[in-house]
Amino acid sequence: MSMVGVAEISVTVEDPHSDAAARLIRNLSAELGERYGDDGSGAFSPDDVRVPGGAFVIAWLDDQPVGCGALRPLERGVAEVKRMFVEKDARRQGVAKKVLEKIETIACVLGYRTLRLETGILQPEAIGLYESAGFRRVRCYGRYVDNPLNVCYEKRLG
């Protein structure tokens, strides 16, 4: 990985209903559908993050949208990371790490003390990212409790 490639990545807060966001979410759903037979779209609506305490971010590489992530309020002091995705041809360049760092920064500014997330056991690259970023595996919560394909993580902020 060259430092030049890393320097070209920017992550900005965007409208989750924008064309770029819609395309990234659609591509994520297609990939999840291929891996799991379920696209995961039932667990997220763009309107979930168009509320106080929510955010949607897009990663840009050479002015092209290549990744995304969302921050959804769960309960007082706790938010959930959702819709983390990087386009296949932009992977292994630090994009996901930059998206996650931006989400964590926003969460801290918004006063969250804890971040939670769910990912699937068929996504070892996502599991590696979250564990390397300091997330620790926890008992699954909410809609993920009884699904053996889910793993859940939590990270204390600050």
Dihedral sign from CA coordinates of 56, 13, 153, 95: positive
Q: Residue 2 — very low, low, confident or very high, per pLDDT cuts 50/70/90? A: very low
Residue 86: Cβ-neighbour burial (10 angstroms; 0-12, 13-18, 19+):
buried
Q: What percent of the chain has pLDDT over 90?
A: 82
Q: What is the pLDDT of residue 3?
A: 45
Rg from Cα positions in the chain: 15
Distances in Å between the Cα of 16 and the Cα atoms of 32, 80, 114, 134 are: 19, 16, 23, 26
**Statement: the pTM of the whole predicted model exceeds 0.75:** yes
Q: What is the pLDDT of residue 12?
A: 98
- pLDDT above 80 for 17: yes
Q: What is the pLDDT of residue 24?
A: 97
Q: What is the pLDDT of residue 39?
A: 73
Q: What is the pLDDT of residue 92?
A: 92
Higher pLDDT, 44 or 76: 76
Average pLDDT over every residue of 112-131:
96
**Secondary structure (DSSP) of 54-98:** -EEEEEEETTEEEEEEEEEEEETTEEEEEEEEE-GGGTTSSHHHH
- CATH for 3-114? 3.40.630.30
Q: What is the pLDDT of residue 8?
A: 86
